[in-house]
Amino acid sequence: MTEKRVLIIGGGVAGLTTALELTRFGIESDIVEKSPFAGGHGIQFACKATDRCVKCGACVVEEKLRDVCAHPGIRLLAATEVMSIEKKSRFSVTLRRSPVSIDPAACNDCGACFTACPEGAVQQGFSAAHNPFYGAMEDRCSRSSGGSSCTICRDACPQQAISFSPEPAVEETAADAVIAAYGFTPFAPIDKPYGYGMFDDVVTNLELERMLRRKGLPLRPSNNALPEKIAFIQCVGSRDAKRGHLWCSKICCGSALRLAGLIRHRHPQIEATVFYIDIQTFGKDFDTVYPKYQEDLRFVRAIPADVLAADDGGLKVVYAADGTHESREEEFDLVSLSVGITPCTGAEKTLSALGIDQPENGFSGASRDPGVFLAGAATGPMSIAESVADAGRAAIEAAAYLAQ
Amino acid sequence: MTTVIFGAGKTARQIAEKAAALGRQAILVTEDRLESIADAETLRSAASLSLLTETHLKGCNGGIGDFTLELQQNGGTKTVKAARLILAEPDRRTANYGVYGLAPSDAVICLSELKARIGDPAGFGWPEQAPKHLVFLHGISTESTPAIAEEVMTAAVQLQEAFGVQTYVLVGNLKVAADGLEALYRKCRQAGAFFIKFTDTSPDLRQDKDGTVVVEYADEITQQRFTIRPDMTVVDETIEPSEKVARLARLLDLEIDENGFAQADNVHRWTVGTNRRGVHCVGPSRGILSREEKALDAANAAAALARESGDPPADRAVIDRGLCIRCLTCFRLCPYRAIRFTEEERVEAMAEACERCGICAAECPRTAITIPGLGRKELMPERSAASDAPVRITAFCCSQSAKPAGQYARRMGRDLPAGLDIVEVPCAGTVSLPHLMDAFARGAGGVMVLSCHPDNCHSREGNMLAKQRVELLRSRLEEIGFDPKRLSIRTLASNMGVEFGEAVEAFEKMLVDLA
């Protein structure tokens, strides 16, 4: 009966879940994902289980991606973005495919392109469900950004799986409803006084997650050795009135404590310190697990003022010590910044084409178009579980709209 | 298609309205009396709705699409048929007087009481008799929640702005991890509320004979000592599941979390899902949720009602009547409550409710249960091992975790053992003792069971049952002089490609060393 089709912008957990929920109403969809690897930020997270599951939800993203890939009613277009969108009788949409394309049928996962690329633009997937398993990040590829005629990856491929299109490949499509699930942009800690971008061993919690997922180890980028002392600095870019970030990012306390707990579980010799404002409740079992973290980790209720280089290659974290007006310097050899969730950048054009309001905080509000629905962290900080719940809501609203 | 909704509160009504919009008949069932239900008349006059008050659930049989509920009302019993059940009971709040060592008095009230006064100021002689100085005790020595923090801060803003009350919020960890709360916190401070935070210390609270409280504390940063003599002190509240939820969860055989809410703390459970298909649990019945999360629950429950249940799948558990001795092992162990008694007192698996985890078939002492595709002859390695492998390994991999982890390892270019044979199973709980012994009989030098982490099993404890079986078989193998190290179990998640590789490589090395 229904020939209605939905366009989902964003292939993170919210977009993937919305697509799956829509299939329960018999509605098919196209998911458009800018990155070559669908699954959003969540697909890059490590499992943080210790002797048991700590309910971080990373495996849920994996599960959603697998289900989407297996579903015949969902078309997942990775390395694709919306160029323009216009509401006529339906939404008519112009999509742009990445100029570097890897044929998943020909690719045999050998990784020659990954090794060969001088720009580090070819990246490895984060999941068995990433097909192809390698993808070119457009922002790093000199072909996409600089208009160069580099052919190194193609020449390196023994399978002839890589092809270039001279102009970005464009595809026209139509949709009856649109789900805006473009997610968030992690706060860039570059202008915070924590030496990010200056010191190798200052990383973001997202980078630490990726490292654990890909290598299984929390290594210091400077020397690929295990650290002895890790500092986790919370609220980097969240709860920050100076920047007008009047929100808690909701997920960072859970992320930092679970990461620290995992690292201590695997490497009990590593000491972990958490610098924080207020520890936020995460998970249904918070009241049971928090006392355990309090025993296992060191908590300092202060937000550091500075991260400086120490003489021996380590890092000095400067913070206000309890009970005094003085600042204290303490040495660490790895610093993880829990960067906040900030509004998605780069979606402005799509946002205005879809009639989406932007409230004062910069996240996305509702759309003036009854056929446009928002889902997930595009509207504000959300955990994986909350994004899944929100996607369920968006799906039933879209289904009700399409049934009219 | 009737839906029975337990509860008559706000969430229950929201869902009932949405059900009506979808043309679904809803019955609201509550233990409460009619008088205690706000605006009960509107409920009773709604065409697509019926309301059963003072009604208690006594029993439930059947599964999704075909539940039979036994209800007790006014001493009589009645039977109601329903396609789906929704738990939407409110939670229970306890005022934290005891936590702070205070007794309720004119000068010491709880948060709900304060909200009542703000809602009806004239009734309490406000603003004339409103307090001048008011202290909130909030999440000190216990951890509060964003839901309570929002109420505290909303009240503080109102008190400051509308009644000119100077408020002091004494707080441990201020819970702002919900929409708008950090902005509310700033607004609260701008309105003039003082926030005093406690980390390793707590305030000294002394209650005088007249009921008022004297608060003394040392500022944690400056160490300076302060005394506040508020004319009103407000204690916060703890949110817990109501007794009704606990009772319903027991009668419906629902998994509960460690606080007693009627939804397991399992990441694989769908937002408003439970361990039983067709039984949903929303809002304050499933946990302590923020305002926006409760609204999402109502929408998701409505989505569940909108779905048509399709034909029952054909590959589910079947119990052989001739072999079954009605020992009820399957009934006890089925995590999804998919086993029922028929009117002829037979034990039967309901295809609509079965999730095909294989636990019942593996545990049945009479091997009376078969599940297509999971039998001894059917569960075979997906590809035969290379003939020149130093040792052959059979790895039973859970499809939820180890199977994708293994694929991820391979795609990352990990050089997995040449003799590794993977047998995909829907749950580690599928792997029975015969499955394990058959793998050795087929020539495996080592057998691994790779399951999900504890508390992460989609089928509640399929992983733990598999572990028990492995341990049992290991002790038997040892008795007959077979090295038990050749049988191993470990836990993984779907995204643990590196760890999968490490596990199978270490196992192979151990087996080679044994030889």
The ipTM, to two decimals, is 0.95
Helix B146-163 with B111-119: angle, nearest 10 deg: 40
- Tell whether B381 is covered by a domain: no
Q: Do A214 and B498 touch (CB under 8 A)?
A: yes
The residue range of the domain holding B415 is: 393-514
pLDDT for B242: 94
pLDDT beyond 90 at A321: no
Q: Do B164 and B187 belong together in one domain?
A: yes
Asked if B302 lies within 8 A of A380 by C-beta distance, the reply is no
Distance CA B70, CA B64 (A): 16
CATH number, domain with residue B27: 3.50.50.60
CATH topology of domain A187-340: FAD/NAD(P)-binding domain (3.50.50)
Structural domain contains residue B382? no
Q: Say if A366 is an interface residue toward chain B (CB within 8 Å).
A: no
Looking at residues A17-45, what average pLDDT do you find? 96
The residues, any chain, with a CB within 8 Å of residue B249's CB and separated by 6 or more, are B87, B255, B256, B260, B262
Residues B276 and B253 in one domain: yes
- Number of other CB atoms surrounding residue B196 within 10 Å: 18
Q: Chain A: give the shortest CA distance to residue B425, in Å.
A: 16
* A–B interface: beta-carbon pairs under 8 A: 183
Q: Does the pLDDT value for residue A324 go beyond 80?
A: no
In the prediction, which pLDDT does B43 show?
A: 79
- Asked if residue B428 belongs to a domain, the reply is yes
Mean pLDDT of the region B329-344 = 94
Contacts of B220 in chain A (CB under 8 A): 301, 322-323
* Helix, strand, coil shares, percent, chain B, to 5: 30, 25, 45
Tokens 């005394």 belong to: B227
> What pLDDT, in 10s, does the model give residues B155-164?
999 999 999 9
Residue B146 and residue B227 in one domain: yes
Does B256 lie in the same domain as B344?
no
Mark whether B181 and B50 lie in a shared domain. no
Are B413 and B350 contained in the same domain? no
pLDDT of residue B383: 64
Quick check: B408 and A110 CB within 8 A?
A: no
Determine, yes or no, domain membership for B494.
Answer: yes
Could you tell me if residue B385 is inside a domain?
no
Asked if residue B116 and residue B191 are part of one domain, the reply reads: yes
How far does the CA of residue A179 sit from the closest CA of chain B (Å)? 16
Whether B103 and B234 map to the same domain: the answer is yes
Q: Is B448 in a helix, a strand, or coil?
A: strand
Q: What is the pLDDT of residues A116-144, one digit of tens each?
A: 999 999 999 999 999 999 999 988 998 87
Integer CA distances (angstroms), B56 to A6, A269, B6, B77, in order: 44, 55, 10, 9
In this predicted structure, the answer to whether residue B113 has a pLDDT above a threshold of 60 is: yes
pLDDT band at A323 (very low <50, low <70, confident <90, very high): low
Task: Single out the residue in B216, B238, B260 at which a domain terminates.
Answer: B238
Q: Is A281 on the interface with B (CB under 8 A)?
A: yes
Residue B44 lies in a domain: yes
Selecting from 3.40.50.12780, 3.30.70.520, 3.40.50.880, 3.50.50.60, what CATH number does the domain A5-98+168-183+344-403 have?
3.50.50.60
Contact B268 A63 (CB under 8 A): yes
Asked whether the beta carbons of residue A284 and residue B178 sit closer than 8 angstroms, the reply is: no
Which residues between 164 and 193 in chain A have a beta carbon less than 8 angstroms from any beta carbon of chain B?
none
| Chain B contact for A1 (CB, 8 A cutoff) | no
d(CA A74, CA B59): 41
Instruction: Report residue A146's pLDDT band, with 50, 70 and 90 as the boundaries.
Output: low
Q: With contacts defined as CB-CB under 8 Å, which chain A residues touch B306?
A: 25, 396, 399
The whole-number pLDDT of residue A144 equals 75
Looking at B256, B281, B306, the residue that finishes a domain is B306
Query: Is the pLDDT confidence value at A1 over 60?
Result: no
pTM to 2 decimal places:
0.96
Domains of chain A, residue spans:
5-98+168-183+344-403, 187-340
Nearest Cα of chain A lies from the Cα of B294 at a distance, in angstroms, of 10
What is the overall mean pLDDT for chain A? Answer: 95
The confidence score (pLDDT) of residue A389 equals: 97
Structure tokens at B30: 């509550």
Q: How many Cβ atoms from other residues are within 10 Å of residue A12's Cβ?
A: 30
> From A240, which residue of chain B is nearest by alpha-carbon distance?
B182
Most B CBs within 10 Å, among A60, A234, A284, to test the B interface: A284
> Does B55 lie in the same domain as B188?
no
> Which pLDDT band, with edges at 50, 70 and 90, does B75 fall under?
confident
Min Cα distance A404 → chain B (Å) is 12
**For the segment A36-73, what is each residue's pLDDT rounded down to a tens digit?**
999 999 999 999 999 999 999 999 999 999 999 999 99
Q: What is the CATH number of the domain that holds B410?
A: 3.40.50.960
Q: Is A317 exposed, middle or buried (0-12, 13-18, 19+ CB in 10 A)?
A: buried
For residues B226 and B172, state if they share a domain.
yes
B122 domain residue, yes or no: yes
3-state SS record for chain A: CCCCEEEEECCCHHHHHHHHHHHCCCCEEEEECCCCCCCCCHHHCCCCCCCCCCCCCHHHHHHHHHHHHHCCCEEEECCEEEEEEEECCCEEEEEEECCEEECCCCCCCCCHHHHHCCCCCEEECCCCCCCCCEEECCCCCHHHHCCCCCCHHHHHCCCCCEEECCCCEEEEEEECEEEECCCEEECCHHHCCCCECCECCEEEHHHHHHHHHHHCCCCCCCCCCCCCEEEEEEEECCCEHHHCECCCCCCHHHHHHHHHHHHHHHCCCCEEEEECCCCCCCCCCHHHHHHHHHHHCEEECCCCCEEEECCCCCEEEEEECCCCCCEEEEEECEEEEEECEEECCCCHHHHHHCCECCCCCCCCCCECCCCEEECHHHHCCCCHHHHHHHHHHHHHHHHHHHHC
Number of domains in chain B: 4
Task: Give per-residue pLDDT as tens, A78-88.
Answer: 999 999 999 99
B85 and B130 co-located in one domain: no
Region B67-73: what's the mean pLDDT? Answer: 96
B43 or B2: whose pLDDT is higher?
A: B2
Check residue B222 and give its pLDDT: 84
When the pLDDT of each residue in chain B is averaged and rounded to a whole number, the result is 94
**Same domain assignment for residues B462 and B418:** yes
Q: Longest C-alpha distance within chain A, in Å?
A: 72
Nearest to B176 among A280, A390, A396 (CB): A280
Single out the residue of A297, A309, A302, A308 nearest to residue A326, CA to CA: A302
